Amino acid sequence: MFTREGTAMPPGVRRRPTQRRSADRFERLLDACAELLAESGYEALTTRDVARRAGVPIGTLYQFFDGKQGLAHELAMRNLEILLARLHDRLAAEPVRTWADAAVLGYEESLALRRTVTGFFVADFRDTGPVDTDLVRRIDAEMAGRLHELGTREAGLPPLPDHERVLLVAINASDGLLRLAFQTAEDGDPAVIALGARMLRAYFTDLAGSDRST
């Protein structure tokens, strides 16, 4: 699907709001989606409940989104934009020299957002019941691409070989460890969180060493 300007619309989004009132409803729907995901998970999420929580007619929801998958994808993309903005600020204040440093920085910012942004943790959809594999795949691929672009463009790091696969491994491993950390402690088990940072640093350090030896 394309906008009138000819740019591709995100998966699941039928149209983007152009007026302030519509934009407010669009964001309220995403906020309601985040709240309901945090409360009961992806499997229990319904578009009717989202519309009711947002205080808008169900027809309005379907003017913007094709259903709960579209809502969930757009919420995940909004969360990704928040993460990238924070990483941009961190990189400006704390330049990094290696992908290992960048990965740990990204891990720290993801942890901070999981603690403070409603729906950030469950919007990766891996800990909320049956996984929608197509949805997860699209979100992961978008995240990997944007993170690689940020690292090379803003941090000046060398391009990673096979960067999508390399970053998909890191993203999924990080998410798994953070889920474990929050399963054992309300604010995240500090020992598990620390081990996650060590794992990421070792992973990217090993990759850098392998690249030099080939």
**All structural domains of the chain with their residue ranges:** 76-213
5 neighbors 62 (Cβ within 8 angstroms):
no
Domain 76-213, classified CATH 2.40.70.10, yes or no: no
Structure token pair of residue 166? 């390399």
Structure token pair of residue 83? 């993460």
Instruction: Note the pLDDT of residue 1.
Output: 35
For residue 2, is pLDDT > 50? no
Instruction: Note the pLDDT of residue 122.
Output: 62
Instruction: Note the pLDDT of residue 8.
Output: 55
Whole-angstrom Cα distance, residue 136 to residue 139? 5
For residue 15, is pLDDT > 90? no
DSSP-assigned letter for residue 189: -
For residue 145, is pLDDT > 70? yes
Instruction: Note the pLDDT of residue 10.
Output: 60
Q: Largest Cα–Cα distance in the chain?
A: 60
Q: What is the pLDDT of residues 177-213, one digit of tens each?
A: 998 999 889 899 999 999 999 999 999 999 988 765 5
Q: What is the pLDDT of residues 54-109, one digit of tens each?
A: 999 999 999 999 998 889 889 988 999 999 999 999 999 999 999 999 999 999 99
List the beta bridge partners of residue 159. Answer: none
For residue 29, is pLDDT > 90? yes
Mean pLDDT of 2-15: 56
Q: State percent of the chain over pLDDT 90.
A: 59
200 neighbors 103 (Cβ within 8 angstroms):
yes
What is the overall mean pLDDT for the chain? 87
Q: Choose between 146 and 4: higher pLDDT.
A: 146
107 neighbors 196 (Cβ within 8 angstroms):
yes
For residue 37, is pLDDT > 60? yes
For residue 7, is pLDDT > 50? no
Instruction: Note the pLDDT of residue 188.
Output: 93
Q: Choose between 116 and 131: higher pLDDT.
A: 116
With CA atoms as reference, report the closest residue to 121 among 194, 187, 202: 187
DSSP-assigned letter for residue 45: -
How far, CA to CA in Å, does 93 sit from each of 13, 113, 149? Answer: 35, 18, 18
